[in-house]
Structure 1
Amino acid sequence: MRVVVIGSGIVGAGAAYYLSGRGASVTVVDSHRPGAATRAGAGIVCPWVDHPEDDDWYRLTREGARHYPGLVEELGEDIGYAKVGALLVAEDPVDLEPVRALLRRRHPAAPEMGDVVDVDTPSELFPPLSDELSAILVPGAARVEGSAVRDALLRAAVRQGAEVRTGTATLAPDGQVLIRPKHGEPPLREIVHEPREGGEAVESTAAAGGRPAAVGPQDSWRQAAPLAPAATAPAATTEAPSYTGEGRPIDADMVIVAAGAWTGEVCRPLGVELPVFPRRGQILHATLEGVDTAWWPIILPRLGPYLLGFPDSRVVVGATVEDVGFAPRVTMGGLEEVIEAGLRVAPGLFGATVAETRVGLRPVYAPGPALIGPLTGRVVVATGLSAYGLTAGPYTGEIAAALALGEEPPIDITPYAPATV
């Protein structure tokens, strides 16, 4: 079977890996425009604390978290995955009670979260933290390096026979894939083997059908409403470039569209309007010279930016939650929000060196928890993971691969099916 995967983020890379492993002839196409969300994600894998009243969201992210240990073993290389645990922190210990009850309720069906315990002095585990915080520890939580996962999946797919091409992919009304090569840019294959250093801007393309007013799950521990003016600042760009149908056709029996926030525009020629829209997240990387931060736990405050440590004395702080359209920019307001909230939780980072800022457009599917399923008899769509792309991305890719191959997916996808079907 010949399958074209449009998009080489973590979902598309996961789909390519599983498809090629099953013997399919796979071509991955990505325009390599700036703006992919994968690299800008912090890398938190801790699904048990979120979506208390949304079983469909929780099921997908829980299974995505369970998927990682096996994937790490299969890939056989360092993707930055480590079970470092997560500290849920609050200034008032009373604020921890709802999430404590949620974890207690979910633990029997998710023992991989570990035994949740109180931590009397959280700064012993994450030294920059304020001494005024109360905390509970979820030991099963993990962190992962998003770009490392994506690159490892693509490398493995290429070893299994997949081809990775750089270009702008569009769909004809019958689902045929057309690719227009991009001139003056390095081939994606170079990026797969040698990831770029430094910051990366965010790309621009439109979701069909406009953007709803809601800003996201209000009852989730780490993805509540925006904190500050960053979310209401005027967007520099609200419209995405439209694609023409011109280009060179690629033979395909099936197509998986995993184009993130740009999925709506890619699929529009099929005659469907997918309400997928971008949610901007700005994130900051800081370094603490000479400090071993590799095994510091993830810090999840009740509201506001999270913090987590990585090797190389690096601490990540983020991210903003901004519904500002396709505006791929790091802003003064966004950085102010991240820095102010980060220092409130961890004043010990005051002297840290700002090493890098990143920004990504997370794909959000307005009607439901995610968008996974067939659009036509030839086209499967997989996107809408919002802030949980690094948690559920590889697993979502596996689901999409199963659908493209005509196999039974590993979970019931009815809650994630496109509303247009």
Structure 2
Amino acid sequence: MQKKIAIIGGGIVGATAAYYLSKLPGTQRLEVTLFDSGVGQATKAAAGIISPWLSKRRNQRWYQLAKSGADLYPELIHDAQLGTEVYQQTGTIVTREEATDLETLFALAQERRQTAATMGDVSTLTAQEVQAKVPLLSKPQPGVFITGGARVDGDALVHALLDRASEKNLTVRQERVSLTPDGQVVTSMGPRHYDRVILAAGAWLKDLVAPLAVTADVRPQKGQLIELAVKDYELQENMPVVMPEGERDFIPFGHGKLIVGATHEDDGKFNLTPDATVTADLLGSAQRLMTGITANDISGVRVGTRAYSSDFAPFFGPVPEHELFLAASGLGSSGLTTGPQIGRLLAGSALYGGTPDWSEYELPLTTYLRSSAE
């Protein structure tokens, strides 16, 4: 008998869940349908940095989740047979202007490396050594270099994972769907029943679960980044990602493409219109570290909507009192780091059932999902 699973949302969580639902043991009798409207998705507007180890966030559950997400990437990329245009461990450079701040950062890196083998080697670099690794920078700062850091193109990753899953048991439908109070998925062809439903709709989760009389602690945040056409250095594909102190992140890709960003705009919410003022701010950040860059070098602007919870922590798991549904949201700006691990865990739960203990990674789900009657 075929088991039917629906996924609502085709971002990093939904796409990874779909991929694992095509690969895990027991998926031969599985039919998976993914619904996504294609509008506003944070993942497709993102070019991410996979380097959580030097984060100052004090939330240890978040750190364990982010660390496990970074650990998962090499395995996921290898198994899905994806190339360096999607993901590459180029290394990460985190800069500091003050020598004492650099020493503190290096000490933190050495400490965390003891429990994070994926970090690779850790070293300090002078400003000149940073420039040698990233010649795009004409005004470099000294920094800490982590060889295990990586860059990932969110849009390319999502498309590739969905393509792999579609070769097996996945059907993708580009449409916005809703839920009925009794747990059916309302599609363009009418209500449909599924054995399990994964709700991976990001900032749209709040509206999605409302018919279930559930309130989700989720708010939207607008994020923008710019693509710059820069000098195409021979080894640009291997340039490390740079996280400059006080400036936007620099993510070099091959063939003369540089990503700068991203912003965190609480007032923007679901607004997907590029803001000229924000674009100028991002360009200004690039110009403070590079010479010769002008507005004419902007080759594209990406805009998406992130989801945040009140305590800035992601949450995922069975919806309280609605065990048919598995939900995930609140990933914020670290979605490309934590999302694959969340998607993998949700896929396993949807397929095998049970009540897995994910307390290592998150607070109880009732912290974020509550009955509207409460």
**Which TM-score applies when normalising by structure 2?**
0.89
Partner of 1:281: 223
Contact 1:92/1:133 (<8 A) preserved = no
Give how far 1:414 is off.
Answer: 4.6
Specify the SS of the correspondent of 1:329: coil
% of aligned pairs identical?
33
Alignment of 1:98-113 (within 5 A): 98-113=104-119
Partner of 2:210: 268
Shift in alpha-carbon separation, 1:381–1:132, aligned structure 2, 3 A: closer
Partner of 2:122: 116
Partner of 2:250: 307
Give how far 1:302 is off.
Answer: 2.5
How far apart are the structure 1 equivalents of 2:12 and 2:356? 18
Contact 2:123/2:144 (<8 A) preserved = yes
Letter in 1 for 2:228: A
Contact 2:6/2:33 (<8 A) preserved = yes
The answer to whether structure 1 residue 322 and structure 2 residue 271 are counterparts is no
Contact 1:169/1:179 (<8 A) preserved = yes
Alignment of 1:37-186 (within 5 A): 37-78=42-83, 80-120=86-126, 121=128, 122-131=130-139, 133-180=141-188
Runs of 4+ in structure 1 over 6 Å off: none
Specify the SS of the correspondent of 1:415: coil
Letter in 2 for 1:343: Q
CA offsets, 1:68-97, max 9 Å, x none?
111111111325211111111123233323
Contact 2:17/2:344 (<8 A) preserved = yes
Contact 1:128/1:349 (<8 A) preserved = no
Shift in alpha-carbon separation, 1:92–1:382, aligned structure 2, 3 A: same
Give how far 1:128 is off.
Answer: 2.7
Shift in alpha-carbon separation, 1:131–1:368, aligned structure 2, 3 A: closer
Q: Larger strand proportion, structure 1 or 2?
A: 2
Partner of 1:4: 6
Give how far 1:131 is off.
Answer: 4.0
How far apart are the structure 2 equivalents of 1:103 and 1:175? 47
Shift in alpha-carbon separation, 1:270–1:98, aligned structure 2, 3 A: farther
How far apart are the structure 2 equivalents of 1:9 and 1:278? 15
Which residues of structure 2 form unaligned runs of 5+?
Answer: none
Match of 1:369 among 309, 313, 319: 313
Contact 1:372/1:383 (<8 A) preserved = yes
Partner of 1:36: 41
Alignment of 1:316-355 (within 5 A): 316-324=259-267, 325-347=269-291, 349=293, 353-355=297-299
Match of 2:15 among 10, 13, 16: 13
How far apart are the structure 1 equivalents of 2:177 and 2:185? 7
How far apart are the structure 2 equivalents of 1:351 and 1:320? 18
Decide which moves more: 404-413 or 349-358.
404-413
Contact 2:40/2:270 (<8 A) preserved = no
Shift in alpha-carbon separation, 1:6–1:152, aligned structure 2, 3 A: same
CA RMSD between the two structures: 2.0
How far apart are the structure 1 equivalents of 2:273 and 2:125? 38
Give how far 1:290 is off.
Answer: 3.8
CA offsets, 1:359-417, max 9 Å, x none?
11111122451020111211110121111111122221111112223156585455262
How far apart are the structure 2 equivalents of 1:173 and 1:6? 16
Letter in 2 for 1:371: F
Contact 2:17/2:343 (<8 A) preserved = yes
How far apart are the structure 2 equivalents of 1:29 and 1:85? 35
**Which TM-score applies when normalising by structure 1?**
0.79
How far apart are the structure 1 equivalents of 2:239 and 2:218? 35
How far apart are the structure 1 equivalents of 2:167 and 2:357? 25
